[in-house]
């Protein structure tokens, strides 16, 4: 069986697992954004809280991904949610916390105090300053954090197949247990391609969300 | 117009402004000057309540600012800051429209107003759709001024607005700023640390040091009678020369000592015209009265030659005499055309009239000294 035939045999399975892989990431995304962005906003004006939150999130990042999936399974087992998408989504959401929270925090703090003073001096209220000045100026950096988190998510989601949620990890882990190098490399390559593709799509989104005047080529 | 009554501001244990009393007159440019940390910016920011005074009261048009809602107060006062503070994600139009939109003007009225303001600050209306990062520092500053003027406030607060601009462009901005002020006649408080800027732009100067008001007077009065050594040092050694900077070119413009021609005159009749007059040069104006060149009659080896100068050296009518004099010395001319900021020809200034002013000033000083 040459590689071409191999791909044909596995065609349907590949499509299915790519779909499941993306599904896990796309379900985690709103959770991580809805959790991290407000958290980033909250800590942006509270330096002490910011230190603690970013420290905790950093610790979370140092937990090996495989172990984090294992912990989720154990923690969720009493709720009968130990296997399937739930532990996978939860683990990826936790992993996304740091990049998005940190970038939101940085983004809001990089808006120059002079700019804010100008806005205040012209008679904008605090909420007008937030919505009209701070947020639009922060979007590129926040989006970069979301992109980081998502690309990270694509690779971390390979472990999802170990907790019964499927995804491209199937090829890698089945390949390893069957000593099938072809399966492992195929899985790895597709994960990379998906990662690059997701990154590219998000760059497009980032570009369309970035206010015109902030783009270098303008 | 603006009255500061016993204003004191403390930051913790430090007193930034000590019991300040000051009345700013309507339609004047009042310059606040002093070394950094003297309290000038703090005082300015207390007027639009970016900083709240510890004690004392500030009246703007007879009303105490403390009684007003801070946000509403600020919308009624123009504010220009250093490095402009234009919003980079807003187009020039949106930047200028900030306050009118806060005041919920109708969009058509805003459009008219923006157009009018761009014209006032001598920017083309095509600038409306540009973004701040596409503009030069000077252009950004003009937009900053237009933004502050958007809702036609009576009072304008300017916090070192030209501080980040290179010296050459700063001079140009000064001239057009004065020309704009001639038109709008706002009550302006202008913070600076540059004494030349203060002398050039100010009607009155308030000199501050360590939170105290040292001297507050007309510019002439300060130059002639500095109250103490501190003020003398601030003014520098060349203060008698500085007095010349108070004299504007426009007051020395002559109207009957030059020749004007139109671009359509042919060479032959031009030569005759210039020869007939006793002048060596003639200025060419377009149909809008803008200076577009000059013709010089030069005698070379016995032949008269008519030379065309596309880009004649000019003096802005708001330049002071020092600036006009230095332009003359640099260009080697003893007569220069005077234009306004839009390039319109308004007359000429002669070297002799500047010298006349210098000797007059010297005489005054001697009389005073004696």
Instruction: Note the residue count of chain A.
Output: 218
Between A and B, how many residue pairs show a Cβ–Cβ distance under 8 A?
A: 69
Residues B156 and B268 in one domain: no
Contacts of B130 (CB under 8 A, 6+ apart): B91, B92
Residue B66 domain-assigned (yes or no):
yes
Q: Write down the pLDDT at residue B8.
A: 92
Which of helix, strand or coil describes residue B158?
strand
Using only the alpha carbons of chain B, give its radius of gyration: 24
B79 touches chain A (CB under 8 A): yes
Residues B143 and B177 in one domain: yes
Residues B258 and B123 in one domain: no
Separation CA B235–CA B245 (nearest Å): 13
Q: Report the side by side order of strands in the sheet with B187-192.
A: B77-80, B155-159, B187-192, B29-33, B204-209, B212-218
Mutual angle of helices B321-331 and B351-369, in 10-degree steps:
130
Residue B299 domain-assigned (yes or no):
yes
Which positions 145-164 of B are in contact with A (Cβ < 8 Å)?
147-148, 157
> Residues B104, B106, B109, B114: what is their CA dihedral angle, to the nearest 10 degrees?
50
Q: From B89, which residue of chain A is nearest by alpha-carbon distance?
A: A213
Instruction: Tell me which of A180 and B30 has the higher pLDDT.
Output: B30
In chain B (370 residues long), the average pLDDT of successive 10-residue segments reads 90 89 92 90 92 91 88 91 84 94 93 92 90 89 91 92 83 87 92 89 92 90 86 80 78 82 78 76 86 82 78 88 87 87 87 78 56
Separation CA B260–CA B270 (nearest Å): 10
Q: Write down the pLDDT at residue B247.
A: 81
B99 touches chain A (CB under 8 A): yes
Residues B53 and B109 in one domain: yes
Residues B111 and B57 in one domain: yes
Residues B104 and B201 in one domain: yes
A interface residues, B as partner, C-beta within 8 Å? 114-115, 117-125, 128, 133, 136-137, 211-214, 218
What does each C-alpha distance from B49 to A121, A130, B72 come to in angstroms? Answer: 9, 20, 11
Are the CB atoms for B226 and B47 separated by under 8 Å? Answer: no
Q: From B134, which residue of chain A is nearest by alpha-carbon distance?
A: A218
Give the minimum alpha-carbon distance from A176 to chain B in angstroms, rounded to a whole number: 51
Residues B227 and B275 in one domain: no
Q: Pick from A123, A134, A208 the residue to mutate for testing the B interface (most B CBs within 10 Å).
A: A123
Residue B244 domain-assigned (yes or no):
no
Among A25-39, A53-67, A161-175, B235-249, whose mean pLDDT is lowest? Answer: B235-249
Q: From B98, which residue of chain A is nearest by alpha-carbon distance?
A: A122
What is the band of A80 on the pLDDT scale with cuts at 50, 70, 90?
Answer: confident
Q: What is the CATH number of the domain that holds B330?
A: 3.10.580.10
Residue A51's CB is within 10 A of a number of other CB atoms, namely 11
What does each C-alpha distance from B228 to A151, B38, B207, B214, B303 come to in angstroms? Answer: 68, 17, 11, 9, 62
Q: What are phi and psi of B212, to 5 degrees?
A: -110, 150
Residue B242 domain-assigned (yes or no):
no
Residues B217 and B323 in one domain: no
Domain finish residue from B237, B259, B280: B237
Separation CA A89–CA B129 (nearest Å): 45
Residues B19 and B101 in one domain: yes
Residue B179 domain-assigned (yes or no):
yes
Residue B289's CB is within 10 A of a number of other CB atoms, namely 14
Residue B92 domain-assigned (yes or no):
yes
Mutual angle of helices B167-184 and B137-149, in 10-degree steps:
20
Query: For B232, left (φ over 0), alpha (ψ -120 to 50), or beta?
Result: alpha
Q: What is the CATH number of the domain that holds B112?
A: 3.40.50.300
Q: Write down the pLDDT at residue A218.
A: 45
Count of structural domains, chain B = 2
* Reported pTM: 0.73
Residue B243 domain-assigned (yes or no):
no
Q: Report the side by side order of strands in the sheet with B281-285.
A: B260-261, B281-285, B291-300, B303-309
Residue B224 domain-assigned (yes or no):
yes
Residues B258 and B230 in one domain: no
DSSP state of B186: -
Task: Give the domain extent around B199.
Answer: 2-237
B82 touches chain A (CB under 8 A): yes
Average pLDDT of the segment spanning A27-39: 91
Domain finish residue from B237, B260, B284: B237
Residue B121's CB is within 10 A of a number of other CB atoms, namely 22
| CATH architecture of the domain covering A3-211 | Orthogonal Bundle (1.10)
What is the band of A174 on the pLDDT scale with cuts at 50, 70, 90?
Answer: confident
Instruction: Note the residue count of chain B.
Output: 370
DSSP state of A132: I
Give the minimum alpha-carbon distance from B218 to chain A in angstroms, rounded to a whole number: 28
Which parts of B154-252 fold into alpha helices (H)? 167-184, 195-201, 219-224, 229-235, 239-245
Residues B219 and B262 in one domain: no
Which residues of chain A make contact with B90, given a CB cutoff of 8 A?
213
Closest CB from A114, A133, A211 relative to B81:
A114
Which residues of chain B make contact with A213, given a CB cutoff of 8 A?
87-91, 131-133
CA B254 from centre of chain: 23
Q: From A211, which residue of chain B is nearest by alpha-carbon distance?
A: B89
B212 touches chain A (CB under 8 A): no
Q: Write down the pLDDT at residue B43.
A: 93
Residues B51 and B21 in one domain: yes
Separation CA B41–CA B28 (nearest Å): 18
């Amino acid at each position: 069986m040459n590689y071409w035939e191999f791909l044909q045999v596995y065609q349907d399975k590949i499509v299915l697992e790519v779909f499941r892989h993306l599904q896990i990431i796309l379900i985690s995304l709103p959770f991580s954004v809805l959790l991290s962005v407000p958290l980033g906003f909250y800590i942006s004006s509270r330096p002490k809280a910011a230190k603690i939150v970013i420290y905790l999130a950093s610790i979370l990042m140092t937990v090996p991904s495989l172990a984090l999936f294992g912990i989720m399974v154990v923690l969720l087992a009493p709720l009968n949610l130990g296997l399937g998408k739930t532990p996978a989504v939860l683990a990826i959401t936790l992993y996304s916390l740091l990049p998005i929270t940190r970038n939101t925090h940085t983004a809001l703090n990089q808006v120059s105090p002079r700019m804010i003073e100008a806005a205040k001096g012209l008679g904008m209220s605090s909420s007008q300053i937030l919505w009209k000045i701070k947020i639009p100026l922060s979007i590129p950096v926040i989006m970069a954090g979301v992109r980081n988190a998502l690309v990270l998510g694509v690779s971390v989601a390979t472990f999802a197949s170990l907790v019964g949620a499927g995804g491209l990890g199937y090829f890698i882990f089945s390949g390893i247990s069957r000593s099938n190098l072809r399966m492992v490399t195929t899985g790895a390559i597709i994960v990379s391609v998906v990662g690059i593709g997701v990154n590219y799509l998000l760059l497009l989104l980032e570009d369309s969300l970035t206010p015109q005047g902030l783009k270098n080529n303008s | 117009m603006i009255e500061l009554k016993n204003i004191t501001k403390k930051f913790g244990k430090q007193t930034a402004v000590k019991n300040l009393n000051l009345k700013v007159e309507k339609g004047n440019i009042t310059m606040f000057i002093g070394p950094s940390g003297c309290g000038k910016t703090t005082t300015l920011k207390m007027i639009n309540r970016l900083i709240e005074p510890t004690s004392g009261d500030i009246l703007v048009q007879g009303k105490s600012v403390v009684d007003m809602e801070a946000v509403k107060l600020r919308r009624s006062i123009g504010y220009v800051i250093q490095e402009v503070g234009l919003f980079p994600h807003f187009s020039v139009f949106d930047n200028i429209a900030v306050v009118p939109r806060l005041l919920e003007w109708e969009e058509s009225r805003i459009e008219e107003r923006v157009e009018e303001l761009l014209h006032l600050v001598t920017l083309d209306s095509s600038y409306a759709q540009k973004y701040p990062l596409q503009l030069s520092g000077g252009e950004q500053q003009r937009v900053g001024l237009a933004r502050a003027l958007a809702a036609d406030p009576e009072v304008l607060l300017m916090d070192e607005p030209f501080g980040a601009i290179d010296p050459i462009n700063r001079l140009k901005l000064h001239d057009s700023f004065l020309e704009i002020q001639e038109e709008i006649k706002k009550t302006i408080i202008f913070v600076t640390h540059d004494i030349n800027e203060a002398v050039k732009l100010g009607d009155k100067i308030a000199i501050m040091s360590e939170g105290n008001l040292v001297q507050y007077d007309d510019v002439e009065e300060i130059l002639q009678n500095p109250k103490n050594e501190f003020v003398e040092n601030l003014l520098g050694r060349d203060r008698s020369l500085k007095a010349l900077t108070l004299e504007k070119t426009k007051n020395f413009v002559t109207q009957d000592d030059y020749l004007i021609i139109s671009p359509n005159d042919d060479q032959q009749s031009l030569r005759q015209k210039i020869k007939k007059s006793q002048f060596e040069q003639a200025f060419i104006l377009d149909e809008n009265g803008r200076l577009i060149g000059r013709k010089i009659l030069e005698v070379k080896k016995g032949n008269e030659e008519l030379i065309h100068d596309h880009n004649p050296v000019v003096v802005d009518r708001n330049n002071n005499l020092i600036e006009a004099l230095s332009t003359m010395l640099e260009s080697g001319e003893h007569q220069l055309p005077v234009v306004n900021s839009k390039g319109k020809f308004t007359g000429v200034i002669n070297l002799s009239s500047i010298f006349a002013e210098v000797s007059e000033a010297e005489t005054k000083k001697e009389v005073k000294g004696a």
